[in-house]
Structure formats: structure tokens, C-alpha cells
Structure 1
């Protein structure tokens, strides 16, 4: 059976920093292909084919940024690509430049969100988000950073201002990254949740899966849009590194 979960995370989750916890990242290390590439890409293909409206959005004003992002991803992940590419799992993907976000969603494991400056804040103008962790794309599209992070308790005015400064200051060719890590009862990668849905109280059962997102922020040099990318790792408890038991948990 094709693997859809990973067995390792390529960073030390015990080294969590206070929000926003940003670190520098080399552009060559921005995109990751890991052991679950084939399984996760197959899942992405199905979601884009069957639930496109739930996992993809693009305002027409974001088209130039989306096209620039597609070119950047092709240059980094599929250099020399022509009208189509063959993924490492053998799947052939046609490069549809009329559908840049849909094409991007089938090329890399990362979910990709484009945020562009509108007034004082960056606004989510385009995204392919196949693996949401307790949020829904349709509720966040064309919303500013502060609204996107509602109702995250830790995202107060101080953090919001710091994150906005980060988005204003990130430079082309010099991505930044952070990570989170939580225990989940459900290993499904696709876990949308409306802000109106009541979250369940944690039960007494030991949650079986560790979910960590490697989140990166990157500036597009031409359109100046900011790309927020998410590479999702989900490990069974047996594969989780030591020292994780104290992490917070999400039950529902």
C-alpha cells in the first residue's frame, strides 16, 4: 500500500520557539519531497478532482502572482519542464497555465497560499490547500491576516503586528520558516473545520498521531506577493520522536 504518513520529521520538534518562531531558510531547501510523496500526491490529485471548490481559490487579481509562483516551483522542482512533467511517482502532470493554482497543487506536497498587500494588511488572494488542519479555505479567502488567524488564542495584537512586519519585510530569495506540532486523534491529512464548529474537549484516550506543519514565508520578486507554504507531516505515535508527550492535542 502506498504510504501516506511519514515516519520521521526532518527537524527537532523539541526546539519549539515562542510565536512566531521564525528562522532563515535557503531557497534550495524550501520545497521537500519526503517518503510519503506518492501517497500524499495521490490524495491531492483526488481532492483537486473531486473537491476542487473546497481546496482551491484564486481571485483574478492574484493571477500574475500565481503564474509567477508556478514558474518558480517549476524552476526549483522540475527544471527544464515543458508542456508537462513526470512526477517522481510516475504521474504525468500537464502544465495548465490557465489554472496555475490547480497545477501547483499537483506538483508539490506543500499547500501554497498567496497573500498580497491590500491597504495595511496582507490578504489571502489565492491558495491550494488540500491538507487544512482545522480551518476552511472558503472562510479565509480574501480575508486579511488578522481575520485568517481568528480564533487562534495565541494570536494577539502583539503577535499580529509582528507577523505583519514579517510579511512586509521578507526578501526575495531569502525565505523564512517555522513549525508547529500537535497530537491528533485522526490521522487524515484533510481536516477542514469551520470557525462556527464547536471543538471537542480532549478525551482521556491517548491520541495516536503527531501532526507537524513546516510553514514557510517567501517573497515573489516580480509581483511582490508573499507565499505562505505548508508541508504537513503526520506520524503514528510509534514513529514520533521522544519528548513529544507534553505537546497540546486536538481531538475534534
Structure 2
């Protein structure tokens, strides 16, 4: 069953949509736990310069994040983790995650969770991306965004400049330690690959032929959480990817409702929003295909 469905009409596209969540739901392991951890390790080993960013001045804050996450996971998910000295071990295979001088602490703890981790720090230019372990980007490049302020990171997001950006800055400024908030967003891809650092661009052939989108597309949902580190005051983002074949939508218990909700949201997107989501050529065919489920 699809775990999150923000396209069902319960959320509005291109809205902030932050909601409080209980601390025990900070991380969100699922049936793809082992598969996604293996993929993250592959990417870190093969292209660390692409998926890891670490400003030297953030190492203490990264260590703080490591400690908080390592303390949380064995309590919240004892079936998957156990405490191991100052770190944690995976119950399945005994893999141990301890801080070492060999890699940034954020990278080390990211090896143990499906979520990507991003550390935001406030400076003269506002909140910037100061450190990250980002293996599963949704059409953006960590290399291009590293150490950039929020306004530059989101310069192509429709509606971000102005009120949305100002509201997000206030949320970042006012978030208190101990508060945990989360949001969801969705996009559509033509590949099951989790590492998408290039702009969204689906195959033109998928826009041709009845049923082509349902047969070959994937609905990708990001679950993001945001919290403040109590000692450094930096903000820690977690980003969890749920990537499901659209062809499985018909087998969901709420298939008609989900198809209708996604079709309605697609229909409401303006040209700038469609372009951002990479759906200029594909929206109409996808709506038609979803109509067959409704």
C-alpha cells in the first residue's frame, strides 16, 4: 500500500504544509530499508564528492546531530537498531555506525537510515545549506546548491520568491528545540532510480498512447522533517523518498479516490508549476490515464 498520498486532495501543491509530528515518527523505516541503505552506501563509495557536503565549521553540529539520532533510533525502532557504545548497530547484519575522523558525522549516521540528512545554518545571507548527506535528490544537485542560501536553492520554485520564502524564513527562525514538523510533496518520474540530480525530464514517448503513463511512470513522494539542534541552533532536515510505480495505483484500497485526487491536482497546475514538475508534455496523457481508474 502506498505509504503517503499528498496528491489525494488533502494537501495543496506548492504550499509549505508543515505539520507537527510526534518524536517517535522522526524517522520512517519501511520495507525498503535494506535496499535503500545498500544504494546509499554504493553512492557514497562511488561518488562521495557528489552526495556529501561538509563545511568544516559544522563538524561539531554534525556530531550533535549524530548523537541525537543515535540515541533516538534504538528507542523508537528497537527491531532495527541497538545502542553500540557511542553509536548504533543495525540488528539485521551487525553493521556499526561510530563517529570516526575518516568521514563527516552526518555522513556516518546517514548510512544507518533511509533518510537523507541536511544541516541548515543561519549566516549573514540567511539560512544556507551548510552540510548534507544527499544520496536521493529529487532533481537537484548538491554540488550546485552547497553552501547556498535558501533563496538561491529555491530560485526556480514557483511562488517561493516573496511571501512563501519570507514565511519559511520565519518558521526557521522561530522553530524551538524539541519541536518536530513534517511536510510532504510529490512528483512524477519515468525511472525507478532514487538518485535524480538532473532536472525533471521524462521520455516524450510516455506522453503518447493510452495507458503509457500508468504503465511506465513512478509517483515519488518526499517526506521531509525539520527540527532544531539544541546546542548549535542549526536546523536538521530529514528527507525520505517513497517511489512507487503508478501501475500499482489500481491495486490500492482507495484507488479511485487517489486517481481522482491526483488528476485534480494535475489539472490545477499552472504553466510554471507544470514546467517545474517536468510535466508540460505529460500532464494531459496522465490525466486521461488516471481517468480510466476513476
Query: Which has more radius of gyration?
Result: 2
Q: Do Structure 1 and Structure 2 share a fold, with TM-score over 0.5?
A: yes
Cα distance in 2 for residues equivalent to 1:216 and 1:12: 15
Deviation of 1:89 (Å): 3.7
Q: State the structure with bigger RCO (CA 8 A, min sep 6), 1 or 2.
A: 1
Asked if the contact 1:55/1:129 (under 8 Å) is kept, the reply is yes
Question: Partner of 1:95 in structure 2?
Answer: 98
Match of 1:174 among 161, 166, 179: 179
The one-character-per-residue Cα deviations of 1:205-245 (angstroms, maximum 9, x if unpaired) are 41521100001111001111001110110111133353244
Match of 2:148 among 140, 143, 146: 143
Question: Partner of 1:113 in structure 2?
Answer: 118
Map 1:95-244 onto structure 2 (within 5 A): 95-98=98-101, 99-119=104-124, 121-193=126-198, 199=201, 203-204=206-207, 205-206=212-213, 207-240=216-249, 241=252, 242=255, 243-244=258-259
**Would you say how many aligned residue pairs link Structure 1 and Structure 2?**
243
Question: Partner of 1:53 in structure 2?
Answer: 49
Give the aligned CA root-mean-square deviation in angstroms. 2.3
Cα distance in 1 for residues equivalent to 2:94 and 2:169: 38
Partner SS for 1:138: helix
The one-character-per-residue Cα deviations of 1:182-221 (angstroms, maximum 9, x if unpaired) are 221111100102xxx6856865141521100001111001
Deviation of 1:81 (Å): 2.5
Cα distance in 1 for residues equivalent to 2:200 and 2:167: 29
Deviation of 1:170 (Å): 1.1
Cα distance in 2 for residues equivalent to 1:219 and 1:55: 23
Asked if the contact 1:55/1:130 (under 8 Å) is kept, the reply is yes
The one-character-per-residue Cα deviations of 1:125-150 (angstroms, maximum 9, x if unpaired) are 00000000100001111111111112
Question: Partner of 1:9 in structure 2?
Answer: 3
Unaligned runs of 5+ in 2: 76-82, 267-276, 282-294
Asked if the contact 1:170/1:176 (under 8 Å) is kept, the reply is no
Unaligned runs of 5+ in 1: 1-6
TM-score, length-scaled by structure 2: 0.76
Deviation of 1:181 (Å): 1.3
TM-score, length-scaled by structure 1: 0.88
Partner SS for 1:107: coil
